Structures are given as structure tokens and as C-alpha cells.
Structure 1
Amino acid sequence: MTQTIDKNKFKKNFLWNVIGMTCNCFNSLFFMILITRINSMDDAGIFTLSFSIACLVYYIGTYAGRVYQVTNVNDSITDSDFIIHRAITCVMMVFISLMYCFISGYSLYKFTVVILLCIYKSLEAFSDVLYGVVQKNNNLYQVGISLTIKSVFALILFVVVDIVTRNIIYSILFAILAWILVIVLYDFKNVNYVSKFKLHFNISSLRDIFKNGFFVFIINFLSSYIVNAPKYALDGRASNELQAIFGIILMPATLISLGVQYFIQPFLEQLTSSFKNNDKKAFNKVVIKLLFITSGLGVICLIGAYILGIPVLSLVYGLELSAYLFELEIIIFGSILFALSLILSSALITVRYNFIQFIVFVITSVFGFFISIILITRFSIDGAAYAYSCIMLLEFFLYGLIYLMLQKNLFKNLEKEV
């Protein structure tokens, strides 16, 4: 009976997690479609760059992230510690965004769009720590429900306001309001139900999270930079219109990369359990399963994009994009490699191999910075697509090599963590 209940709970968690993450991931796509249709290509270009910046500083807000929080086996660090730590990093995230805009010398309009989207993503980052609390109590389905409500509510407000005002600043403000309301009325209620804690400022625990989660933070931060390095390189080297076009053909790949989290999140508890029980065979079995599922879906996506990708994108955005089929296929291939790397990264985070990943991302980021500039300077938007896949190929090669080399001592950090 217990096994049946556990299986039913797993299915419920998995299903709602997929629904919630799908809605959340697709929101940025819908925002981009609406802006392209309702506003202008110039606005679309500013939005896609601003959203990429917000996604980068988002990892300052999440810092070590939910994977680290959920797989934490150190009982001295409490839910209160994680929540207070996240509030601090979210403030840091917005402050750093302000400094970046000042240094970049953006116009007031572009400055405002960037900061509002960073605030929007800071709410997502804060929600994530609350999701970690309910997920540790095997209520991942509540995370999916929360993301679904927020995404639908924010999208409705964004659409209505943008149609009425044709101003993306007002639209983003109302999307922010939607997230705040759901956090207050739904997320806090779920957290209070499963975790009867009181907020307590523990400097020692906060220091431990900053220290022990540092390399996870760097990994996530550089991961976001790597994905968007061509976008950042396009800024100032191409018009807002070309920035928008690249954002459009990159969007399907972004969704594919994010989609792998559908399969990672529900299996985190299994990875953690195998780690605690020193069962390397079971651990590798889960990792291999995720790699095969992702590879299979990737092949389907490549075929689907070749047949339907450009026609669908052209229809949705109201633009002629037939000249970019080859670039779209290259980008999607790169996104599959990135998704596979993400699985190996999550596995290594679980067993607390973080420093070696830091090295991987430093190498890949430096490579990405230079290859993006070189290829974009020579080939413009085509160079951005080539750079994207080159970066992902190097990252996957390094991750695969390291994971194989560490097999003998994969669980050597077990005693240290416990």
C-alpha cells in the first residue's frame, strides 16, 4: 500500500512539475511574441537582451540553487537559514543589476526595462527557495501549481496592459504584481504548513551557505553566461532588430535546454538517496536514464525543427525567417549538448564535486567570450549561432570526460558531507 502511495505521489509531483515549469518557461516566449506583434522589433531587441541580463543575475539571486538546498544533508542548516540567505542574495542581485546598467550607459528606457526584468527574476529566485522547502517534504506538485498560477496570471496581465498601453514597462510592472500576490497568498501558506520554523538570523549558517555553495553559484552563473554569451556579444555589434531575430531563433533551443529540468527535479531525491546509501550503481543508472531520455527528445526536436521550425516561428512572430533554418538547426544541436551537460552537472553537484565544475565553466566561459566576439565580428548573426554550438560542444566534452574519470571515486565526498 505504501509503495502504491509513493508511486502515486511521485506521478503527481512529476506531472505538476512538468506543467508548472512548462508554463514558466513558455512565458518568456509568449512575452517575446506579444512584444514583436504589438510593439516593435526595436522593443523586442531591447527586451530579449534585457531578459538575458536578468537571467544571468538571476543566478546571483538563487546562489547555490534549489538542487543544493534539496540535496543538503547537513541538518545544522535550517529552512530559515536558506530563506534568509535567499533574501540577501536577491537584494544583491538587483543592486548589481543597477551597477551594470550605470556602467553600460544605457538609455533611461533600456535601463528601466533591464531593472524591472531583474526585479521580476528576483521574485522567481526568492520563490525558488520556498519551493525547496516544500520539495524536501515531497510536495513538489505544489511547486508546479504555484508556477502555473504565476505564469498564467502574469501573462494575462502582461497581455491586457500591453494591448491597452503598448508600453512594455507598464506590462512588466503588472507581471511583477502577479508574482508578488501568489507568493504572499499561496507560497507562504504551503511553506508554513510543512515547515513550522521561525526566521532566525544565524550568521554561522549563512556563512556556511555562502562558502559551501560558492562553486555551485559560480557554475550556475557561468552556465547562464555561456548560454547567452552570443547575445551579449551582439550588444553594440548589431542592431536591436538583429538582436531580436537571434533571440527568436534561440528561443526554441532555450526551451529545450530548460525542458531537461522536467526530468532532473523529480529524480533529485533518488540521486540523493543513492548518494547517502553509497549505491553508485543506482546513482549511475538514474544519470544514464536521464541522458538517454534527453538524447531521444533531442533527436525528435532536431527533426521537428527542420520540418516545422521556421514555418512555425515565421507564423508566430509574423516575420520572414526562412533564411535562418541552418542556424536554427545548429543552435538546437548545441542546446541538446547543453541539456546533457546539465544532467551531468546536477549529478556532480549531488555528490559535491563542485570545484572541478568551476574549472570547466571558467574554461568554457573564456572560450565563449572570445569565440563569440571573433565569429560575430566576422559573420554577424550567423557567427552568433556558430559560437553557441561551439561553446556547448566544448562544455559537453569536458563534462563527459570528467564524469568518466571520476567514476572510481565518485562517492568519496560522502563522509565529508555527512
Structure 2
Amino acid sequence: MKQLSLKKLKLSDEDNFRKNFIWNMLGMTFNSFNSLFYMVIVTRINGTNEAGIFTLAFSVACLVYYIGIYSGRVYQVTDQNGIISDKEYILQRVVCFVLLLLISVFYCIFNQYSGDELVIFLLLCLMKGFEALSDVFYGVMQKHNELYRVGVSLFLKSLISIISFLVLDLVTKNLIISILFMDLAWIVVFLIYDIPRTSVFLEKREKVCLHHIRDLFLTGFYIFIVNFLSVYIVNAPKYAAGGLLSNSFQAIFGIILMPATLMSLAVQYFIQPYLLQLSNHFVNGEIKKFNSLILKLLMIIILFGIICLIGVYFFGIPILSLIYGIDLNAYRFDLEIIIIGSVLYPMSIILSSALTTVNITFLQFILYLITTTFSFFICPILISNFKVSGASFAYLCTMLVHFILYFGTYVFLFKRNILFKYKK
């Protein structure tokens, strides 16, 4: 009888893991592919000039997003000591949301944006702000083993926002109105789904300690810097191209970079469901299981990357040209270069998640600082001399340097038995 109960419990855990994995993958897929759909819609309806503005604005919004999430959900979910409550995590994220909005405004003022360009930048930053705010509620759901609800939320937001964006842009051909309704979709689902689904897990009488929120900012600082720089290095060629290429060429580079962006986002399919397992292996001192799981995730990315590389070689340019309505045959080699780089970066993300789980953060800050410095100098040089091809090579070089740094660091820590000597 006892064995039967244990068997049922095991099956229940497996079913719950499967449900979490499937819904999380579905939600992340729609959320990841939305940026692709937005670019297709803007390019076809509004033209390459506005598509170039949208591409740069969306990239900046993705950068300030990491101000909004600060230390991020990985740190929140893998925090096993229970000292900081869910309410305190949420309040800290609200402060970050306000900072995100203020910094977005200052960024636009500094760059002297005005008119439609100013409004487009601010609206996209607002959308990413609510995405960051939602993420802390997702962390609460995930800690209570309800990751599938995160997938449902992302699915609803992505589907409603892309439909509203498409319909309104077709009717009005006005980017501002289209983005405004896209923002409203995120806000409405956040209010009617995220908050009610999370509130059941919050202790209503639990007090909030301001010094805990202060501690969150202090202990999560290096993770924040790592997350922020991670977005910068992925988009460094795009930011550099903003001052060196015309809007049309920016749009073209944004199009051929899109598959790489999707691959970088898609790695979260594999990481998120395994975060609790990584954390448990760490807490239990199961270093062999910990490393086996990391190796498994790396092999999945490599296999996925090989399939993508072959598929893109034969079908990438024709499909992108058909989707966007632009002749991209001159950029076939550039696309292959970018795909190779896009395989290296997700592997770095997996190694980064492993180091974050075992609370190695300052060292990651150093690794990202090295990569950022490298990309800061190499991107303008290559883009100035080789235009779009230079941007593609700059992306590959940056990703290669980043992966070598992370892989070498992880192997060094593992061989020296340092990996499990840190505790949160």
C-alpha cells in the first residue's frame, strides 16, 4: 500500500513537471517570437525606415528591462534560505519598475529624441517595464511549483498583444497607436491574471522589512550588472550600428539578427524548468548530478544549434526574404555567421545560471566586463569598415570571446573543487 502511494506521488510529480515544462515552453515561445512578428509587421506595413527606428527602440527597451528585473527570477527562485519574503521581492521589483521608467525618460532626453520617435521609445520601454514587473510574480508562482501559470500568462499576453498590434497597424498604419494597445494588453493580463494567481501565496499579515529590500539591492547588484551587460553584448553591434548605419541598414541587420535573438531567448525553455533541480543538487551537495544536468542542457543546445545551422543554410534567406518582403540574398553568409554566434551564447547562459545557483556572481561580473569592453571597441571598427558584414562578424567575435571566458572559468572552478564552496 505504501509502495502504491509512493508510485502515485512519483507519477503526480512527473505529470506536474511535464505540465510546467509544456506550458512554460508554449508561453516562452510566443513571447520570444513576438519580436519577430513585430518586425515583420512594421517592415511590411510601415517600411524599412520606421522598422529601423522600431528595431533600435525595441533593443533599448530590452536593455532597460534588465534594470526592471534587477537580480532576476533565477536568484529569486533559487533562494532557499527563506529570509526574504515574496512580498519583499515584489516591493523591490516595484522600486525597480519606477527606476526603469525614469531612466528611460532620461535616455530619450540625453539622445534628444522628439516627436513620434520619443513616444515609440517610451511606449516600448513601458511594455518591457510591465514584463519586468510580471516576472517577480512569475517567480512566486514558480517557487510554489506552478510554472505552468507563468506559461499561461505569457501566452495570453503575447497572443493578445500581437493580434491588437497587427489589426491596429493595418487599420491606422500608425506605430504609436499600435504599440499603445500592445502595452494595454500586457497591463490588463497583469491585473486580471498575474496578481490574483499570485496573491493566494502571499501572507496577508506578513510584515515587510525595508532593510531586507536594501539587502536585495546589495546582494543582487552583481547579478543585475551581469544581466544588464548580457543584453548589451548581444545587442552591441545593433547599438553601434545605430550611429554608423542608416535606418534601412539597421532594419536589415535587425532582420538577420532576429534568428539569433530567438535562439538566445529559447534557451530559457530548457533552463527554467530545471532551476529548482539545480538548486536542490547544490543544497544537497550533489556535484555529480549538478554537472550532469549542466552537461545535458549544453548538449541539447549544441544539437539544437546544429539543426538550426543546417536549416538556415538551405532555407534561412529565402524564408526571411519572403516574410519581410525584402531581398536578402546578399546577406546569406552573414546570417550563417550570426547563427554560429547564437549557438555559443545560450551555452554561456547555461553556465551563467549554474554559477548564479552556487552564488558565484562577482566573478561573472568580471567576465561580462571583459566581454563588454571587447565588444565596445571591436563593433565600431568592424561596422565602420564592413557595414552589415562587419556587424555580423562583431556579433560572432563577441559571442566566441564570451563563451571561452565562461567555459574556461567553469572548468577551472570544477577541477579545483571550488564550485560548491559558496552558500547563499
Could you say whether these structures have the same fold, taking a TM-score greater than 0.5 normalized by the shorter chain as the test? yes
How far is the alpha carbon of 1:261 from its aligned partner? 0.6
1:410 aligns with 2:423: no
1:371 corresponds to: 378
Could you tell me which of 399, 402, 409 is aligned with 1:395? 402
Structure 2 CA distance for aligned equivalents of residues 108 and 354 of structure 1: 41
Aligned partner letter, 1:258: L
1:362 corresponds to: 369
Deviations 1:165-203 (A, max 9, x none): 101111110011111111111111110223334575421
2:330 corresponds to: 323
More displaced stretch, 229-238 vs 136-145: 229-238
- The 5-angstrom pairing of residues 201-350 of structure 1 reads 201-350=208-357
1:15 corresponds to: 22
Aligned partner letter, 1:57: V
Deviations 1:329-372 (A, max 9, x none): 10011011001000000000000000110000000001001100
Aligned partner letter, 2:419: L
How far is the alpha carbon of 1:25 from its aligned partner? 0.6
Asked if the contact 2:157/2:185 (under 8 Å) is kept, the reply is: yes
2:113 corresponds to: 106
Structure 2 CA distance for aligned equivalents of residues 119 and 74 of structure 1: 33
Aligned partner letter, 1:22: T
1:33 aligns with 2:63: no
Asked if the contact 2:348/2:403 (under 8 Å) is kept, the reply is: yes
Structure 2 gap ranges (5+): 1-7
1:74 corresponds to: 81
Structure 1 CA distance for aligned equivalents of residues 365 and 160 of structure 2: 37
Deviations 1:235-258 (A, max 9, x none): 121110000000000001110111
Structure 1 gap ranges (5+): none
1:383 corresponds to: 390
Structure 1 CA distance for aligned equivalents of residues 170 and 350 of structure 2: 40
1:86/1:377 CA distance change after superposition, 3 Å: same
What SS does the aligned partner of 1:105 have? coil
Asked if the contact 2:87/2:202 (under 8 Å) is kept, the reply is: no
1:147/1:199 CA distance change after superposition, 3 Å: farther
More displaced stretch, 106-115 vs 382-391: 106-115
Could you tell me which of 183, 200, 207 is aligned with 1:193? 200
What SS does the aligned partner of 2:243 have? coil
Aligned partner letter, 2:80: V
Structure 2 CA distance for aligned equivalents of residues 230 and 300 of structure 1: 25
Q: How many percent of aligned residue pairs carry the same amino acid?
A: 53
TM-score (structure 1 length as normaliser) = 0.98
What SS does the aligned partner of 1:380 have? helix
1:199/1:239 CA distance change after superposition, 3 Å: farther
What SS does the aligned partner of 1:235 have? helix
More displaced stretch, 100-109 vs 209-218: 100-109
What SS does the aligned partner of 2:80 have? coil
Asked if the contact 2:71/2:220 (under 8 Å) is kept, the reply is: yes
Deviations 1:70-125 (A, max 9, x none): 00123110000110000110110111111111111123221111111000000000
Structure 2 CA distance for aligned equivalents of residues 197 and 300 of structure 1: 49
Structure 1 CA distance for aligned equivalents of residues 178 and 60 of structure 2: 18
Asked if the contact 1:80/1:198 (under 8 Å) is kept, the reply is: no
What SS does the aligned partner of 2:360 have? coil
What SS does the aligned partner of 1:331 have? helix
Structure 2 CA distance for aligned equivalents of residues 162 and 308 of structure 1: 29
Could you tell me which of 164, 169, 172 is aligned with 2:179? 172
Structure 1 CA distance for aligned equivalents of residues 207 and 65 of structure 2: 25
Asked if the contact 2:257/2:338 (under 8 Å) is kept, the reply is: yes
Structure 1 CA distance for aligned equivalents of residues 67 and 205 of structure 2: 25
How far is the alpha carbon of 1:215 from its aligned partner? 0.6
More displaced stretch, 97-106 vs 246-255: 97-106
The alignment of Structure 1 onto Structure 2 pairs a total of residues equal to 415
1:5 corresponds to: 12
Deviations 1:141-186 (A, max 9, x none): 0000000000001111111111111011111100111111111111
What SS does the aligned partner of 2:163 have? helix
2:166 corresponds to: 159
Asked if the contact 1:79/1:197 (under 8 Å) is kept, the reply is: no
Structure 1 CA distance for aligned equivalents of residues 205 and 80 of structure 2: 20
Asked if the contact 2:160/2:185 (under 8 Å) is kept, the reply is: yes
Q: CA RMSD in A?
A: 0.9
1:44 aligns with 2:80: no
What SS does the aligned partner of 1:406 have? helix
2:3 corresponds to: none
What SS does the aligned partner of 1:72 have? coil
How far is the alpha carbon of 1:14 from its aligned partner? 0.2
Asked if the contact 1:84/1:199 (under 8 Å) is kept, the reply is: no
Structure 2 CA distance for aligned equivalents of residues 198 and 48 of structure 1: 45
